[in-house]
Amino acid sequence: MQLDLSFIWTAFVGLLPAVPTTIRITVVSVLSGFAIGTFIALCRMYRIPVLHRAAAAYVTVIRGTPMLTHLLLIYVGLPLIVDGLAERFGWAFRSVQIPMIGFAYISFSITAGAYFSEIIRSGLQSVNKGQLEAAHAIGMTTPQALRRIVFPQAFAAALPNLSNSVIGMLHGSTLAFTVSVVDIFAQAEIVATTNWKFFEAYLAAALLFWGLTILIERLTALLEKKVTRYNRGGVA
Amino acid sequence: MIKLRGIAKSFGKQEVLKGIDLTVEKGEVVAILGPSGSGKTTLLRCINYLEKPNAGEISIDDFSVNCRKPAKKDIHLLRRKTAMVFQQYNLFRHKTALENVMEGLVVVKKLPKEEARRIGAELLEKVGLADKLDAYPSQLSGGQQQRVGIARALALNPEVILFDEPTSALDPELVGEVLAVIRKIAREGITMIIVTHEMGFAQDVANHIVFMEGGLVVEEGPPKVIFQAPKEERTRQFLARYTSDSAYSI
Ligand SMILES: Nc1ncnc2c1ncn2[C@@H]1O[C@H](COP(=O)(O)OP(=O)(O)OP(=O)(O)O)[C@@H](O)[C@H]1O
Ligand SMILES: [Mg+2]
């Protein structure tokens, strides 16, 4: 096989239009996964009646099954539910109006929520309970204490694991091609088949993902420097 | 004036406080002594509701909380009227010394940042930390951290400050600086309840001594009486053990 070096560059340029799609899927799933994960972690830590059991079930089911199954189940199952409800309540909305990328957003958010909840939970548990007590003792309400005292420290502790999961979601977003979303990987398929140069196209995609990953690592390092400033130095 | 009536607390089957009555006059410094496990920490924690008493009443002037059915808003108000200095300092680790002191002023008292900063700097100066405003807890010695803890408690201008063995986590050479600060604010007429094993300190800083054992107040009275002529045999035994093996002086 002859490696066409210059085609790697051509393919690379050809992949760029798909970059925003990949980033959008990653950002949406990470942000909503973070919100879901925080909620789930709090339900479990504070043993909210009923909810904490549901939360625990959600985490083991989602973490116990591949991300691809979540996507396909949502892709097949969601339209059935939406159309069923629409018929019942006489909505004009039909499942065909859901854009393909919407399935990726929803299912990957569900996936990320389960993984993030465990990371957030261990971050919250790493914060000494004296911190919450001290906040209560100066008259803060629990929501104030969580927001201002506990979360920032939990976030700093969880950051390295969060960063790994963000990278995991970036790489996992390639699965979106199975529901016809044209992300970087799907675009590489297109470039490869139209030019009959698979190796070069996949190599270009790999380089692109590697670059994005390094970007995430750099951003994490910057953020880490900022949020863990208080941990450095020290007599005590 | 702070009044505790019949404060009771159990952890599961274990009855840790068996009905504590205590009255603390405004400006008074009360030292609580007693053997380990007698419920001293639990009592302090009940006073600002870090622990929920099973029964009893806590009053501060004409405000009072019935511990059997406390309203959420009363618990919050009680916490605003009391402040706690912890054995393990519990400074907010992600905030500087100044931010630790400002936090309650800004978030709870809703003061403008500038004013909070001014008050915070003043208080840190008072506890001898004018040069450490921007240091994080991890950059301070134990004694310095505890002094920040005291400044943080003072900032809220509470009706009473509760101290739980404020020096027992410190290296011996750092104890003096913290006791000196407590002594200084005691002289300013701030009401304080101090749990301590520093007998010499209790004797000369407190106006009133409470001896607890087994979840009950065994004996209370002025330091002179308790230290020189205790009525109860248990108090005598306890003090005898402590005064013989506590070598420290200030
Ligand atoms: N959260 C808790 N759960 C269960 N038991 C507890 C809890 N906190 C305290 N206790 C028990 O209550 C009793 C009184 O504890 P407390 O900490 O109030 O004693 P203390 O007088 O402060 O002792 P020390 O001088 O050792 O600090 C002890 O037997 C302790 O084991
Ligand atoms: Mg104690």
**Average model confidence (pLDDT) across chain B:** 93
Ligand nearest, relative to CA of residue B37: 1
B29-33 and B208-213 beta bridge pairing: parallel
The pLDDT value recorded for residue B245 is 54
pLDDT at A172 over 50: yes
Residues B39 and B143 occupy one common structural domain:
no
Residues B77 and B109 occupy one common structural domain:
no
Q: Is the CB of B16 under 6 A from ligand 1?
A: yes
Q: For B153-175, what is the mean pLDDT?
A: 93
pLDDT in tens, A62-81: 999 999 999 999 999 999 99
Task: For residue A148, give Cα distances in angstroms to A132, A153, A157, B93.
Answer: 10, 9, 15, 12
CA distance A229 to chain B (A): 8
pLDDT in tens, A108-145: 999 999 999 999 999 999 999 999 999 999 999 999 99
pLDDT in tens, A79-92: 999 999 999 998 88
In chain A the domains, ranked by start, together with CATH numbers, are: 5-235 (1.10.3720.10)
Residues B229 and B210 occupy one common structural domain:
yes
- Give contacts of B95 with chain A, Cβ < 8 Å: 230
User: Which tokens sit at B15?
Assistant: 């009855």
- Long-range (24+ apart) CB contacts under 8 A made by A227-232 are A227/A152, A227/A155, A227/A156, A227/A159, A227/B94, A228/A156, A228/A159, A229/B136, A230/B93, A230/B94, A230/B95, A230/B96, A230/B136, A230/B137, A230/B138, A231/A156, A231/B93, A231/B136, A231/B138, A232/B138
CATH number at residue B71: 3.40.50.300
Helices (H), B127-171: 142-155
Q: For B33-50, what is the mean pLDDT?
A: 95
pLDDT at A234 over 80: no
| Backbone torsion region of residue A183, taken as left when φ is above 0, otherwise alpha when ψ lies between -120 and 50, otherwise beta | beta
Q: For B210-221, what is the mean pLDDT?
A: 95
Q: Single out the residue in B157, B192, B217 at which a domain terminates.
A: B157
pLDDT at B249 over 80: no
In whole angstroms, how large is the CA radius of gyration of chain B? Answer: 18
Only one residue has tokens 């045999």, namely B233
pLDDT in tens, A33-62: 999 999 999 999 989 999 999 999 999 999
Q: For A154-159, what is the mean pLDDT?
A: 94
Residues B245 and B163 occupy one common structural domain:
yes
- DSSP for B191-247 reads -EEEE-S-HHHHHHH-SEEEEEETTEEEEEE-HHHHHHS-SSHHHHHHHHHHHHH--
Q: Looking at the domain assignment, is residue B106 inside a domain?
A: yes
CA distance A129 to chain B (A): 9
Dist CA A13 CA A17 (whole Å): 8
CA angle B112, B113, B119 (to 5 degrees): 95
Q: Looking at the domain assignment, is residue B203 inside a domain?
A: yes
Task: Please compute, for residue A126, the number of CA atoms within 13 A of its CA located in the half-sphere on the CB side.
Answer: 16
Pocket test for ligand 1, best of B17, B40, B88, B217 (most atoms within 8 A of CB): B40
Least confident of A108-117, B49-58, B168-177: B168-177
The pLDDT value recorded for residue A236 is 41
Domain region containing B248? 1-81+159-167+181-250
Q: Is the CB of B36 under 6 A from ligand 1?
A: yes
Q: For B168-189, what is the mean pLDDT?
A: 91
| Residues above pLDDT 90, as percent of chain A | 86
Residues B73 and B96 occupy one common structural domain:
no
Model confidence pTM above 0.80? yes
Put simply, the answer to whether A230 touches B90 (Cβ < 8 Å) is no
Domain count across chain B: 2
pLDDT band at A232 (very low <50, low <70, confident <90, very high): low
Q: Looking at the domain assignment, is residue B174 inside a domain?
A: no
Pocket test for ligand 1, best of B13, B41, B196 (most atoms within 8 A of CB): B41
pLDDT at A187 over 60: yes
Say what the ipTM of the complex is: 0.92
pLDDT in tens, B114-160: 999 999 999 999 999 999 999 999 999 999 999 999 999 999 999 99
> For the packed helices A100-125 and A19-45, what is the interaxial angle rounded to 10 degrees?
40
Give me the total of CB pairs closer than 8 Å, taking one residue from chain A and one from chain B: 85
B220 C-alpha to ligand 1 centroid (Å): 21
| Backbone torsion region of residue B89, taken as left when φ is above 0, otherwise alpha when ψ lies between -120 and 50, otherwise beta | left
pLDDT band at A93 (very low <50, low <70, confident <90, very high): confident
Task: For residue B114, give Cα distances in angstroms to B110, B111, B130, B149, B152.
Answer: 11, 8, 17, 21, 17
